[in-house]
Amino acid sequence: MSLSSPVMSLDDDVVLKIFSFLHIPEITSLRQTCRRFYLASRLRIVWTDFCASEILGAGYPFPDVPLESLPVDDLERMVRHAHGLATRWRNDALDPQTIGTVQMGTGTAASVVRFLPGRGGRWLLTISKGIWSIVTLWRIDAPGGLRKACEWSPRRALIDGFALNKDTTSDVAVALSLRFQQDDQQVVQLLALREEGKDVHLEEVLNTPLETTFKPTLLDGNILALSDDLASTIILDWKQGLYATLEQPNEENGLLTHDSGVLVELARQSVLVVRARSVHLFPYPVLRPRDKDPLTYRPHASHSFGWVDGVGVQILRRLGHPWLSILVRPECDDPWTVDARGLDLYTLTPNPAADDDDGAKAPSYLFPPVLVERFHSSRGPLRCTDLVMGRCATAVWVQPPDYSSAGLLFGNDDGRSLQNNVPSLNSHETMMAGAFTGPLGLGPGGGQVPATRLGRMLFQNPLNDWTSLDYDEELGRIAFGSSGGSVKVVQL
């Protein structure tokens, strides 16, 4: 464009006003027309405004980072990435692309794969089991895909429980339950991620690990939740040595039954304890040192979904209040039941009465949970029961091979039918994605997109050997591991 063009004489305020009427794809096209628009489109205020109006204002996924802390190039890249990801969700146009694949070794199963929260989305943590357990840290954004950064192993011990730190400002990355086979000792240790230039390592935090059979179910900054397999959960400030106990009541017959702790969520001055067959809401406890008579709390409310194969909890903010959403895959012993292996979404709504007394007497949420949506799934065996839901109500899970598609077998001597326990040749594990009612579950016309809400098949696994799964909604990434030791990360 000529230097004498009227466009070149426009001041920044006029150009920014023009930009305010455009959308992100239009800006990226307009900047190619002339240097004036190109330079103006690189201003921080342009991408800060777009982030506020088209991403955060629309409720789309975006990393929880202060915008002012980002270099302008990173801010633009993240805003454009978030817009593209949201567009693909809304248009049912998810197209997974491989970021990287690694093979950890023969005979080494990838029992856990997890994205580390925060830290620029750079790190993937895996736990593998051979003779001993090994924690490995992988760099996701390395040239050529995944690159091993460091590993840590508890010699002569197996890891049988873990919790990632939700506090992205903390160096402490994960809490691990370690079981030493030689003397049958169990302890909990914390690992910190140390980055010193290009050198990265995992470092033990506790000089004396916590001797306990309880397993980590939450790590949020200095707050560590430890749960047993019956009825007790300890809320511990591991730095100050303060704690309290959350105790659920006995069963009606007065006996305690196996009910292993799955996860703990802190929300609205309350603690939600999710176990294999029960959900309990406790008041947020006052923590005391051991010599000051630590308190024991009973639940405000409780509910049971029956035995579950998988469960995920997410805090969704609606109308200014944090709503709790619980995604459940009910367990079923009968693989031929028509409605087996479905996914149910329940909601716990905030209790208005709790605002009047700070939750001291009234529970913070209304019980029982309300079933609001359901995804149907095929029936069959499932090794990877992980299911992950993000704050924008999108979820990823593994659907089992469909055993029913092979039908029944005949041919025994007396002519009676036999159930065929071998899946058909065309039936494989499937990675599924779905958007529940929310910002990414709405179509262009404001109606629900049936193909997305009912679950979208991303890809299949002919080996049927997936063992672990994680999903980063903000960046649109899925990681999964297999019993054969392979780990893969894809971008939606």
Tell me which DSSP letter residue 56 carries.
I
Question: What confidence tier does 412 reach under pLDDT thresholds 50, 70, 90?
Answer: very low
The Cα–Cα gap between 173 and 25 comes to: 37
Whether residue 337 has pLDDT greater than 60? no
Mean pLDDT of 54-64: 92
The Cα–Cα gap between 165 and 168 comes to: 7
The Cα–Cα gap between 232 and 248 comes to: 7
Mean pLDDT of 265-283: 92
Mean pLDDT of 257-278: 88
The Cα–Cα gap between 112 and 138 comes to: 13
In the block, tokens 């190619």 appear at 32
| 3-state helix vs strand vs coil in the chain, percent to 5 | 15, 40, 45
Residue burial 171-203, b: 16+ Cβ < 10 Å; e: rest: ebbbbbbbbeeeeeebbbbbbebeeeeeeeebe
- Long-range contacts of range 240-244, CB-CB < 8 Å, 24 or more positions apart? 240/287, 240/289, 241/289, 241/290, 242/287, 242/288, 242/289, 242/294, 243/287, 243/288, 243/290, 243/294, 244/285, 244/286, 244/287, 244/288, 244/294, 244/295, 244/296, 244/297
The Cα–Cα gap between 83 and 66 comes to: 18
Q: What is the pLDDT of residue 93?
A: 92
In sign, the C-alpha dihedral spanning 378, 382, 385, 386 is negative
Whether residue 380 has pLDDT greater than 80? no
Cα separations (Å) of 408 from 382, 401, 402, 405, 421?
21, 16, 13, 9, 9
Q: What is the pLDDT of residues 176-205, one digit of tens each?
A: 999 997 788 899 999 999 988 778 999 999
Q: From edge to edge, which strands make up the β-sheet containing 133-139?
A: 109-115, 123-129, 133-139, 147-152
Q: What is the pLDDT of residue 25?
A: 84
Q: What is the pLDDT of residue 356?
A: 66
Q: What domains sit in the chain, N to C, each tagged with a CATH number?
A: 6-90 (1.20.1280), 306-481+488-492 (no CATH)
Out of 184-193, 314-323, 414-423, least confident range: 414-423
The Cα–Cα gap between 403 and 419 comes to: 10
The Cα–Cα gap between 66 and 75 comes to: 10
Burial class (CB in 10 A: 0-12, 13-18, 19+), 406: middle
| Mean pLDDT, all residues of the chain | 83
Answer for the pair 462, 426: CB distance below 8 angstroms, yes or no: no
Mean pLDDT of 296-304: 93
Q: What is the pLDDT of residues 33-43, one digit of tens each?
A: 777 777 777 88
Residue 387: which of 335, 434, 340, 338 has the closest Cα?
A: 434
Percentage of the chain exceeding pLDDT 90: 48
| Higher per-residue pLDDT: 210 or 307 | 210
Q: What is the pLDDT of residue 219?
A: 96
The Cα–Cα gap between 179 and 217 comes to: 16
Whether residue 425 has pLDDT greater than 90? no
The Cα–Cα gap between 272 and 295 comes to: 17
Out of 238-247, 375-384, 470-479, least confident range: 375-384
Burial class (CB in 10 A: 0-12, 13-18, 19+), 443: middle
In the block, tokens 């700070």 appear at 358
| Higher per-residue pLDDT: 457 or 258 | 457
Q: What is the pLDDT of residue 444?
A: 45
What is the DSSP pairing of strand 242-247 with strand 296-297? parallel
Question: What confidence tier does 418 reach under pLDDT thresholds 50, 70, 90?
Answer: very low
Q: What is the pLDDT of residue 367?
A: 93
Q: What is the pLDDT of residue 359?
A: 45
Mean pLDDT of 265-284: 92
Question: What confidence tier does 421 reach under pLDDT thresholds 50, 70, 90?
Answer: very low
Whether residue 405 has pLDDT greater than 60? no
Mean pLDDT of 384-409: 79
Mean pLDDT of 449-458: 63
Answer for the pair 456, 441: CB distance below 8 angstroms, yes or no: no
Whether residue 107 has pLDDT greater than 80? no
Q: What is the pLDDT of residue 255?
A: 54
Cα separations (Å) of 484 from 104, 161, 235, 286?
8, 21, 37, 46
Residue 157: which of 204, 194, 227 has the closest Cα?
A: 204
Q: What is the pLDDT of residue 162?
A: 95
- pTM here? 0.88
Out of 185-189, 252-256, 461-465, least confident range: 252-256
Q: What is the pLDDT of residue 213?
A: 93
Mean pLDDT of 301-326: 84
Q: What is the pLDDT of residue 361?
A: 74
Mean pLDDT of 338-343: 61
In three-state secondary structure terms, 484 is: coil
Out of 124-133, 150-159, 192-201, 403-412, least confident range: 403-412
- Asked if the bond preceding 368 is cis, omega within 30° of 0, the reply is yes
The Cα–Cα gap between 252 and 322 comes to: 33
Answer for the pair 233, 224: CB distance below 8 angstroms, yes or no: no
